[in-house]
Structure 1
């Protein structure tokens, strides 16, 4: 029913975390697959639990292409009705797939998301409630909860389980960072969905995470401005609005 798409360079300091991500998938109670885009990495480095799991498939890219490109190319190999993005150093909660899949199947909306937890090295977690409030949201509404590019993004991209056709219509943006902001805004602009007030994803906080890397802040505001403007423009087009003045006839 669900494919989890992950991009990874199989860096040594991330292999144990990738194994933990896989372990969190094995605890899910609904059928799933995973497609791991190996971004210039050799499949020989894939941890044994993943290499031995028939539900895990790999896409080997001949050279590093960046997370956005790797994830988008992995979409070519998705063969299930629903798709979820994930990072190679994070984890899903045990009921993450079932609670969102049940909501999608029972309501017919295009996407279902939840809250996330920051996961610290000592094993503790803190809950992050995204600015978008729980409940049902019409197409394009999620962007309205992102008041300014400098503010916190309105919804967690990796907390979204969505119809695969929607994900293909609104894949990762062509950015070196913040590409997932575009993906989240695109999917939520194209279809109505539901945000559940439960944590479904654990975002690992450690010194190897992307947001902790040297130089990350140099492009972050520009990436946010691009994603914010993308969401604004996409919403306006779909709602028949004219950002320069009057509404379209």
Structure 2
């Protein structure tokens, strides 16, 4: 029913985290697969629990291409109805797939998301409630809760479970960071969805995460500005199209 798409360079300091991500998938109560795009890494480095799990498939890329490109290339190998992005150092809550899948199957919306938790090195967690409020959101409405590019993004990209065709229509943006902002805004702009008031994803806090690197803040303002403008323009274009269609303009 669900494919989780992950990009990884199989760095030594992240292998245990990737194994924990896989373990969180094994605790799900609904059928799933995972496609791991090996961003210039050798499949021989894949941790044994993943290598021995027939539900895990790999796409070995011959050279590093970056997370956005790796994820998008892996998307072509998805063969299930629904898709969820994930990072190799995070994990899902135990009921993450079942609660969102139930919403998708029972309501017919294009996507379903939830809140997330920051997971700290001591194992404790802190709940993050995204700016977009719980409930149903019509296509394009999520962007309206991102008041300024400098503000927190309106919804957690990896908390979104969506129809695969929808994810393919709004994949990762072509950025070196913030590409997932574009993916989240694209999916939520193209179809209505529902945000649940419960955590479905855990972001692991550790020294090696991208947001802790010295160079992260250099491009972050521009990445946010690009994604914010993308969401605004996409929403405007779709609304103009709908207005023209309602007026009978071809």
| Range of TM-score over shorter length | over 0.9
Tell me what 2:159 maps to.
159
Q: What secondary structure is seen at the aligned counterpart in 2 of 1:84?
A: strand
Residue 56 of structure 1: how far off its partner (Å): 0.0
Counterpart residue number, 1:109: 109
1:150, 1:220 → 2: CA distance? Answer: 9
Aligned residue in 2 for 1:199 = 199
2:202 partner SS: strand
Matched, 1:208 2:238: no
Show CA shifts across 1:90-113 (max 9, x none).
000000000000000000000000
RMSD: 1.2
- Residue ranges of structure 1 left out of the alignment (5+ in a row): 242-248
Match of 2:231 in 1: 231
* Equivalent position SS for 1:77: coil
Report the Cα distance in structure 2 between the residues aligned to 1:107 and 1:209, rounded to whole angstroms. Answer: 36
Which deviations, in whole Å up to 9, do the C-alpha atoms of 1:168-203 show, x marking residues without a partner?
000000000000000000000000000000000000
- Corresponding position of 1:118: 118
In structure 1, the residue matched to 2:245 is none
SS in 1 for 2:76: helix
1:4 aligns with 2:8: no
Tell me the SS of whatever aligns to 1:227.
helix
Q: CA deviation at 1:73?
A: 0.1
4+ residue segments displaced more than 6 Å: none
Superposition pairs of residues 39-54 of structure 1, within 5 angstroms? 39-54=39-54
SS in 1 for 2:3: strand
Match of 1:72 in 2: 72
Give secondary structure in 2 for the equivalent of 1:189.
Answer: helix
Over residues 34-81 of structure 1, what are the superposed CA-to-partner deviations in whole Å (9 max), with x where a residue is unaligned? Answer: 000000000000000000000000000000000000000000100000
Give the 3-state SS of the residue equivalent to 1:140 in structure 2.
coil
Please, which runs of 5 or more residues in structure 2 have no aligned partner?
242-248
